[in-house]
Structure 1
Amino acid sequence: MEDAHASEHAIEDHSRNVPRATTTCGAVVGTAYAGIHRYLGIPYGRAPFGVLRFAAPEPALPWQGDRAATGFGPTAPQSPYRGDLGELIKVPTIEGTDILTVNVWAPADATDLPVVLWLHGGGLERGAATQSGYDGSTFARDGIVFVSANYRLGAEGFSVLDGAPLNLGLRDAQLALEWVHREVAAFGGDPARITIMGESAGGALVAALLAQPAARARVAGAIIQSGPLDAVEPGKARRASDALAKKLKIHATRDGFSAAAPGELLAARSEIAAGASPLGGTPGYTLAVDPESLPASPAEALIDVDVPILIGTNTDEYRLWLTPDAVAGIGRAKAWLARLAMRIPRAAARAVREAYPDASPGERLGQLVTDRLLRGPATRLARARTAPTFVYEFAWESPVRDLRAAHALDIAFAFDLLEDDDALRLNGPGAPAALGREMHAAWVSFIRSGDPGWPAFAQGRATRVLADPSATVSQRRAAVVDALQ
């Protein structure tokens, strides 16, 4: 079936103006524009459905002739974002089963150039490389071979089931990295200079790849944007799967989940999540510690990884997850109960009050959530590592819906795509172009050389505060993070 599907993509145009690359599975033909060659929807793995559903990914099968690489591949099964998030973040849907695909942007004259592999975010259950804000043209423009990859999401990618391997979505990312290492030379990239890069859940996958010895051997550097660094024991990671099984009255086994269509699992997940609070409620999908795919939590494993890391967070991460009304509705009593539930030390709460004397209880709680989940772990890792580690804080404040420097706002700046529709929904039309150019240039510099252009964190907790204007300072609000140790 897959060979037949591939033959449907065969094309006859061999014009010298049409970019063509030969991979170990076969030739692909892309498109060219403004000196950039683009190849979309190249399979790196077989369709993970049918007998391959809830199984470890298998490499793509070869095809005959030239395969058209002119359109994105199908997106992984997922439900759209709901409510306010659904208005801010749009994920295009492309139907089909061949979801394990990569996309490549490369300069027309690329030879032995540095490479970056981008992994999208979305809480491990949403998102796709098809999102317009992930266009790799700006990196290719600046001499980088840019690759993005889709991977399995939600129940299909991160269920914990009896009889099924753990961390299937992570295993997909591992296979995509193997594809990049093996094939990128055909697109003008240097397989010895691969940087892996991701935001949010994508950043978590980047960290997890570094924690896996076989994957780590293929990596020259890593960029982790607002990415959680933890992985939990399988018994804890299976709570989302157990909730689905209970809802559908099936067993939390590979056979039980395989008997349910992807749409059934998505619908049940949506019903479970309906009305849940952002500060608690529905168990989320998470990475599981697993001897085969993730032998240790990245928070510990990355301490000794000898590759440069660029890592950072946004000042107000929580403001994407909590609406202004939700923040305003959190009084002192509710904030106190939430702090108890999250086991946040009194010293941290006191330090937040001192750092934000005019903030409401909801805003202070949001900052504690940001620091507990993201900023604290990133800081602890940066302090513990001896290999070069560069830290940033994205601090520019969006005027849209009082998001301020919320989660995901940094992506458009890193890509220098501030006029893209994805960016405009989050940042509005007046985002500073100079900051986009600065941040993108720093990312490109790191991909090229392992140095973004400011001192490593070990030098006095040096942190680049990306704002308008930016500045390199000793880490701001360090007392809050230290109190969370």
Structure 2
Amino acid sequence: MTADQTGPVVGTPHGAVRGRYEQGVAVFRGIPYGAPPFGPRRFRPPAPPEPWEGVRDAGAFGPTAPKPPYSEAFAHYLSDPEIPGDDCLNLNVWTPEPGPGARLPVLLWLHGGALTRGSSAMPVYDGGSFARDGVVCVSVNYRLGVEGYGLFPDAPANPGLRDQLAALRWVHESIAAFGGDPDRITLGGQSAGAISVGALLAAPQSQGLVRRAVLQSGAPEASDRDKVRRVVRRMAARLRIPATAEAFAAVDRDLLLSAQAEVGRFSSPVLGGPAFGIVVDGDLVPRDPLAALRSGEAAADVNLLMGWTRDEYRLWLVPGGLLERVDRLGPVALAGAMARCHAGHEVPRGYRLLRPDAGAAEIVGQMVTDHLLRLPLHRLADARPGTSHLYEFAWPSNLPGLGACHALELGFVFDTGDVPESRLLAGEGAPQELSDALHGAWVRFATTGDPGWEPWDATHPVRVFGTAPPHTTPGPRDADLSLWTTPHPTSPVRGAGNGASNPEQPAHAHGGKAP
């Protein structure tokens, strides 16, 4: 259909939808891929949506999954719109050419938020620039927090991850009608979204559905089941109910979110604590995803683009003044980081030798970042040379203290630096040429599998996107990561539980501050 006041109409397996043309791109918002996950469907795997007759309007974002708001300190930097309604298993499509003949590459985006916050409605995630550049972009809402990742004796594990799998299947079956190529799907995510990408890549049910994958600021991992159970048990104790899905399903949604927020105050990526995470369930996640991907038994033919930011930890520590408090704690903070990372004294000692002028917060932050992100991504790339590309985002925010922090790169990835929500992290005057470079690399990768620099090999090439023009540097993090090559005697095998606290869990947990 040509552009007119009625907008483009596309058929899906459950009914036709009518979108909008915006700046030459066809946009379809709020398309259901699953039935509302409430009532008898609460804490259960997703069910298909009920078919509809006629043409469903897809002009507005659909409801977001239930989630607590950010604390005031974090809301200063991060937006998280809330749209009420039960029909929260929905997705959005941006396409330059709706219709079955285009066969364009597809980017399926999974948002971050520690598996407790975030949504596809965040303005930073607008997919119009990808569609403008020839890539069909799809973004997804999925269940969060206890609704999506609570672990109960009477319900299947990982319902939020099962939502994401249902969305991936919907895209594979339906995206051709929107101009996409189901054989060229790139699955991408940031932070908890990247952790989800890793789990989906390793899932037996997704094999053959994904051509390429992007993991930004998150590595494949499995959380400790007992740790996730403790979150549920603490919520149950606060609510004075049994720790069962049946009991939780009878609780008012707002009351459940309040209990979740209270329990979540005591979690952070820096020092750990109770947190929701993806767990090995013997079905969708039959074993640790990182081990499955490194062994080559899963997604062996999927090309990988993996990245991190130079100062990930600054988003975890700057809001609320935690960075200064960690610096004041000094040796106590370093001891906590050693416990968090299962590291011996030689690790922080090595970081100190490499950074003689750094404060305790920088040492702690870089240790945790390497433990959670850079080391597992390096190891995954080592197991898949020639088909992996790595990069570092190193441009510092124009706001004081943030540096090149966690999530800062997203406005550059989506080329949405002009929206107010991007400026919450970047400040004013973010360089458009850097957006062109990083967004262009993602477009090239989704289109061809080559983002524009050499793939991983023994020289460890890393593309650096910072204040200087983008350039490739051999092994910029090798000196830090070599400190971890000799495991400490108490170190568990990665994936057996040391990654339960997601890199995006806000650090407002400390000091008793409410989220």
Once the 2 structures are TM-superposed, how far is the Cα of residue 459 of structure 1 from its aligned partner? 4.5
Q: Report the Cα distance in structure 2 between the residues aligned to 1:15 and 1:464, rounded to whole angstroms.
A: 43
Which amino acid in the other structure matches residue 86 of structure 1?
Answer: A
Q: 1:14 to 1:433 in 2, by over 3 A?
A: closer
Q: Report the Cα distance in structure 1 between the residues aligned to 2:425 and 2:290, rounded to whole angstroms.
A: 30
SS in 1 for 2:459: coil
Moved more, 463-472 or 438-447: 463-472
Q: 1:62 to 1:18 in 2, by over 3 A?
A: same
For residue 4 of structure 1, what is the aligned residue in structure 2? Answer: none
Residue 14 (structure 2) pairs with residue 25 (structure 1): yes
SS in 2 for 1:309: strand
Residue 205 (structure 2) pairs with residue 214 (structure 1): yes
Q: Which of 322, 329, 342 is matched with 2:325 structurally?
A: 329
Which amino acid in the other structure matches residue 362 of structure 2?
Answer: E
Q: Report the Cα distance in structure 1 between the residues aligned to 2:338 and 2:83, rounded to whole angstroms.
A: 43
For the 8 Å contact 1:104–1:145, the answer to whether it is kept is yes
For the 8 Å contact 2:205–2:284, the answer to whether it is kept is no
Moved more, 184-193 or 296-305: 296-305
Moved more, 280-289 or 363-372: 280-289
For residue 476 of structure 2, what is the aligned residue in structure 1? Answer: 476
Q: Report the Cα distance in structure 2 between the residues aligned to 1:297 and 1:168, rounded to whole angstroms.
A: 17
Q: 1:280 to 1:246 in 2, by over 3 A?
A: farther
Q: Deviations over 1:283-323 (max 9, x none)?
A: 01011001111112221112213210001111111100112
Q: Which of 262, 279, 285 is matched with 1:271 structurally?
A: 262
Q: Which of 228, 241, 248 is matched with 2:219 structurally?
A: 228
For the 8 Å contact 2:63–2:82, the answer to whether it is kept is yes
For residue 426 of structure 1, what is the aligned residue in structure 2? Answer: 425
After TM superposition, the score normalised by the length of structure 1 is: 0.94
Q: Report the Cα distance in structure 1 between the residues aligned to 2:217 and 2:483, rounded to whole angstroms.
A: 20
For residue 456 of structure 1, what is the aligned residue in structure 2? Answer: 455
For the 8 Å contact 2:186–2:211, the answer to whether it is kept is yes
Counterparts of 1:42-441 in structure 2, within 5 Å, are 42-108=31-97, 111-274=102-265, 279-280=270-271, 282-303=273-294, 304=296, 305-306=299-300, 307-323=302-318, 325-330=321-326, 331-342=329-340, 343-386=342-385, 388-441=387-440
SS in 2 for 1:238: helix
SS in 2 for 1:191: strand
Q: 1:109 to 1:95 in 2, by over 3 A?
A: closer
Equivalenced residue count is: 473
Once the 2 structures are TM-superposed, how far is the Cα of residue 34 of structure 1 from its aligned partner? 2.3
Q: 1:176 to 1:277 in 2, by over 3 A?
A: closer
Which amino acid in the other structure matches residue 158 of structure 2?
Answer: N
Which amino acid in the other structure matches residue 122 of structure 2?
Answer: Q
Once the 2 structures are TM-superposed, how far is the Cα of residue 484 of structure 1 from its aligned partner? 2.0
Q: Deviations over 1:411-436 (max 9, x none)?
A: 11111111111210000112111111
For residue 9 of structure 1, what is the aligned residue in structure 2? Answer: none
Which amino acid in the other structure matches residue 200 of structure 1?
Answer: S
SS in 2 for 1:196: strand
For the 8 Å contact 1:35–1:108, the answer to whether it is kept is no
Q: Report the Cα distance in structure 2 between the residues aligned to 1:121 and 1:431, rounded to whole angstroms.
A: 22
Percent same amino acid at aligned positions?
A: 42
Which amino acid in the other structure matches residue 477 of structure 1?
Answer: R
Q: Report the Cα distance in structure 2 between the residues aligned to 1:219 and 1:410, rounded to whole angstroms.
A: 24
After TM superposition, the score normalised by the length of structure 2 is: 0.89
Moved more, 146-155 or 328-337: 328-337
Q: Deviations over 1:128-187 (max 9, x none)?
A: 000000000000000011000100000100000111010010000000000000000010
SS in 2 for 1:88: coil
For the 8 Å contact 1:348–1:481, the answer to whether it is kept is no
Q: Report the Cα distance in structure 2 between the residues aligned to 1:387 and 1:236, rounded to whole angstroms.
A: 36
Q: Report the Cα distance in structure 1 between the residues aligned to 2:69 and 2:108, rounded to whole angstroms.
A: 25
Gapped runs of 5+ residues in structure 1? 1-12
Moved more, 38-47 or 232-241: 232-241
